[in-house]
Structure 1
């Protein structure tokens, strides 16, 4: 935030004479300049692409070149100038240090590392010093049973340490924290699950979700994001897995907390309580992740399928429908997005 103080001298002119009041007024004008950067990962070259979206009419891009060849979940810690992504080539978390939001392209310095424990890492969710990664690989070796794992790492200095793993009785994809609760996508379905007080599970164990509901109107959901300031949850719909070009969409759920609480376990949240964006003009075929700027009501999508991969942005979302993206950039095999604001 930049603050400019202006001293105003109140003057009056009478009978050709100029006099100034002794009641000088300090006018404090806080001119706020906010930087917004969308960090993205992909499964094509593993580099981190940064999109400065502070002004949606003048978006600039830069690239952090990494040694990893494909990656998924991504996060940026502005207090440490640290980018973290889940590598799908090394199967561990990688922290790139010395990254600011100035928009300068550079080669990454891997400054924070840990053990290589995962098999198929997807989304990354962060709460304090805890980094949780959803892994959707088959756990028990039996394809007929659905399961997944949540890897819980603690960050201490320049190391990620695996604290414990949680096995779930469903396949995983997207995850996001809402306070102390972890919401998780039930992959291959239209369902959303929650683990209450998730980080209190400190042992390696199998844990059932506290509650699971279906989201009417979605075929197969993948990405999700939650905005605490406006109580908005957004989920993506990739449609049929065989169609990666034009049957995707996303759902906006306002007043999410009350709607989720009012929907019983294993019941369905009606599509009438949601806003859906989908259709040929959206270019949504396989939207795998989502970020949201509540200031401008802009939705950012990592689209993995249409045209080989894109980063899309949508505004004017209030009524949903077959919207044309307000921003459309090619990014091969886009896999994850994270919006940082400062």
Structure 2
């Protein structure tokens, strides 16, 4: 990572994120807890942790030169990344003992098998680690497909349980209870597999239980769900660094259930953050935290890559400026951990 910069003022003693825009934007203060760590990966191999309260950036040496997908487990004190350069899962342990700031070198790690081809996201449910893979299996773009690799994490390994093939290109994935939601790449659609882990225990081609479109969204990529709200990112045209957006759907469970298979969730049932002030071009990954009502974004293209945050996520929309901004070249994925 190049030099990182915290743009908004940080009130360390009050442990708050403060809006850098004026009151007309409607961005209120968001109070954070004592520990608020945002982990991020990049296509340059950088793995960083941003302390949202203090602005301290900690970098972690790792064996990957390109990663996309990250998860931090407090019980194991370890982060796991999806290495695109090695096509495997990699977990690095003993993170807290390494301290804050500078570059740290984790000495304990676990590497899975080199099974993947084009991994793009990671979703975790207990000891199950699911990786979405966007490989074109038959070389024919008119017959889209993707794969979901299902791993079981043990004390010293990632064991591949099985692989299922989807009938569409897949990007972001997110567990909501036992159900797995997926962003259907190159579309404005969202799919779900109900009771995913228990219903798909063998290698096979699977059919989504339901697919709905998101009105106003161009090309879905990232998604995150918390406490009834689903946030999806829209990268728009992949070559454009200014046409991205975020779609916020409150009461998501009710709205998704009330939409017929093949139907769409209308624009009036969403909030959308988009426009030049947002710095959103290719927001490839998102995290939403309902306690602080903040959306964190891994923006891959604008300014060659950024980490952004938007306060008051369920009450603001339009062309608003981010409340938090770090530079991270080739930003690819994020995970927010708080206590």
**What's the TM-score, normalizing by structure 2?**
0.87
Partner of residue 14, structure 1: none
| Rounded Cα–Cα distance in structure 2 between residues aligned with 1:108 and 1:216 | 44
Partner of residue 228, structure 2: 231
| Rounded Cα–Cα distance in structure 2 between residues aligned with 1:276 and 1:33 | 27
Q: Give 1:226 deviation, angstroms.
A: 0.5
| Rounded Cα–Cα distance in structure 2 between residues aligned with 1:34 and 1:147 | 43
Q: Which runs of 5+ in 1 are unaligned?
A: 1-31
Q: Select the structure that is richer in strand.
A: 1
Q: What is the correspondence of 1:308-327 to structure 2 with a 5 Å cutoff?
A: 308-317=304-313, 318-327=315-324
Q: Is the CA contact (8 Å cut-off) linking 2:33 and 2:338 kept in structure 1?
A: no
Q: Is the CA contact (8 Å cut-off) linking 1:94 and 1:110 kept in structure 2?
A: no
Partner of residue 298, structure 1: 294
Q: Give 1:33 deviation, angstroms.
A: 5.1
What secondary structure is seen at the aligned counterpart in 1 of 2:253? helix
Partner of residue 41, structure 2: 41
Q: Is the CA contact (8 Å cut-off) linking 1:194 and 1:211 kept in structure 2?
A: yes
What secondary structure is seen at the aligned counterpart in 2 of 1:299? strand
What secondary structure is seen at the aligned counterpart in 2 of 1:257? helix
Q: What whole-Å deviation, never above 9, does each CA across 1:266-305 have from its counterpart, x for those lacking one?
A: 0010010000000000000000000112122111000000
Q: Give 1:316 deviation, angstroms.
A: 3.1
Q: Is the CA contact (8 Å cut-off) linking 1:232 and 1:256 kept in structure 2?
A: yes
What secondary structure is seen at the aligned counterpart in 1 of 2:96? coil
Q: Is the CA contact (8 Å cut-off) linking 1:139 and 1:149 kept in structure 2?
A: no
Q: 1:212 and 2:211 equivalent? A: yes
Q: Which runs of 4+ in 1 moved over 3 A?
A: none
Partner of residue 90, structure 1: 86
Q: Give 1:241 deviation, angstroms.
A: 1.8
Q: Is the CA contact (8 Å cut-off) linking 2:94 and 2:108 kept in structure 1?
A: no
Q: Which runs of 5+ in 2 are unaligned?
A: 1-31
Q: What is the correspondence of 1:103-122 to structure 2 with a 5 Å cutoff?
A: 103-104=100-101, 105-109=103-107, 111-122=109-120
| Rounded Cα–Cα distance in structure 2 between residues aligned with 1:206 and 1:33 | 43
| Rounded Cα–Cα distance in structure 2 between residues aligned with 1:192 and 1:110 | 37
Q: 1:78 and 2:77 equivalent? A: no
Q: What is the correspondence of 1:112-151 to structure 2 with a 5 Å cutoff?
A: 112-151=110-149
Partner of residue 180, structure 1: 178
What secondary structure is seen at the aligned counterpart in 1 of 2:187? coil
